[in-house]
Structure 1
Amino acid sequence: MKRLCLMRHAKSDWSDPSGDDYNRPLNARGERAADFMAGYIAASPYVPDAILCSTAKRAMQTLAPLAKRLGKSAPVTYRDELYHAMPDVMLEEIHAAPPKASTLLVVAHNPGLVLLAMALADDPDAEVALRVANGVPTGGFIVFDFDCDDWREIGEGNGKTVFFGRPRDLMASGAD
């Protein structure tokens, strides 16, 4: 079995709308959400043993607290290709994931992330499907299980949605 976790970067800073999108940092809310999600993921059954992350500043800042918590147990590969990638490019990156990894986390951006999430699931319940179709919010985290032993077998319609959460809901529920 392979487990794929998708996470959208946390809330970014738009105080300078003329600034370069690629180098846009997290805002204070995004920093809090990234730290919270790091604690949540590190204590969950969804702990990755390999990570792929966009090289955009906000994606790397989102991952930083989790990478710090996990240390060397989850090597991180930063990929320029994940910056605003569409599902086909994301799948290429996933297919090239370390074969020994059983749980992979991909930190990236919408709209590609939500399009990939919608394409992967073969059995989402109606509520989860509707929430995903409405968009993966900043800091959103989705987990899929795949009945396969090779990352190259992951494709459209062969994943089972296991979890979908967003920082605001998880913080409000008191989840740690």
Structure 2
Amino acid sequence: MKRLCLLRHAKSDWGDPVKDDFDRPLNARGAKAADFMAGFIANSPFRPDTILCSAAARAIETCAPLAARLGETVPIFYRDELYHAMPEVMLDEIRHAPDHTQTLLVIAHNPGLVLLAMALAEDPDEATALRIAHGVPTGGFIVFEFDIERWDDVVEGKGRSVFFGRPRDLMAEENG
């Protein structure tokens, strides 16, 4: 069995209108959400063995607190191809992940991330389908499980959706 986790980058800063989209950093709220999600993911059953991350600044900054918590034993591959990638490009990157990886985390962008989630889902429950269909918010985290041995065997419509979380909801749960 393989587990695929999808994480949308946290909220980015739009304060500098001349900054190229690729170079936009996280804003303060995004940095807080990235740090929270890093703790959540690192301490969850969804802790990744390998990370594929968009090379855009906001994705790298979303990954940084998680990388610090996971340590150097978890390889991170920063991929230009994941910047605003559509599902077929993301699937190609996923299918090239090392097969010794059991839990793979992909940090990327909408709209491709939500389109990929919709394509992968195998009969999601109604609540999860609606959440995915309405978009994966910044910092949103979705987990799929696949009955496969190799990442090359990931196919659309065969992923069991086992978790969907948003930073705001997860923070509220933690604070009781």
Q: Same fold (TM over 0.5)?
A: yes
State the alpha-carbon separation in 2 of the partners of residues 106 and 138 from structure 1. 14
Q: Percent identity?
A: 70
State the alpha-carbon separation in 1 of the partners of residues 17 and 41 from structure 2. 31
1:157 match? 157
User: Are positions 1:76 and 2:64 aligned together?
Assistant: no
2:42 match? 42
Under a length normalisation based on structure 1, what TM-score does the superposition of the two structures give?
A: 0.98
2:9 match? 9
1:124 match? 124
1:56 match? 56
State the alpha-carbon separation in 2 of the partners of residues 77 and 15 from structure 1. 28
Which amino acid in structure 2 is aligned with residue 54 of structure 1? S
- The gaps in structure 2 that reach 5 residues or longer are none
Which amino acid in structure 1 is aligned with residue 35 of structure 2? D
Q: 1:107-164 deviations in whole A, cap 9, x for unaligned?
A: 0000000000000011210001000000000000000000010101111101000000
- The gaps in structure 1 that reach 5 residues or longer are none
Q: Secondary structure at the match of 2:72?
A: helix
Runs of 4+ more than 2 Å apart: none
State the alpha-carbon separation in 2 of the partners of residues 137 and 73 from structure 1. 29
Under a length normalisation based on structure 2, what TM-score does the superposition of the two structures give?
A: 0.98
The residue correspondences of 1:69-148 to structure 2 (distance < 5 A) are: 69-148=69-148
Q: 1:37-79 deviations in whole A, cap 9, x for unaligned?
A: 0000011000000000000000000000000110122100010
State the alpha-carbon separation in 2 of the partners of residues 157 and 74 from structure 1. 28
Which amino acid in structure 2 is aligned with residue 43 of structure 1? N
Q: Secondary structure at the match of 1:162?
A: strand
Shift of 1:3: 0.2
Report how many aligned residue pairs link the two structures.
175
How much is the aligned-residue C-alpha RMSD, in angstroms?
A: 0.8
State the alpha-carbon separation in 1 of the partners of residues 53 and 17 from structure 2. 24
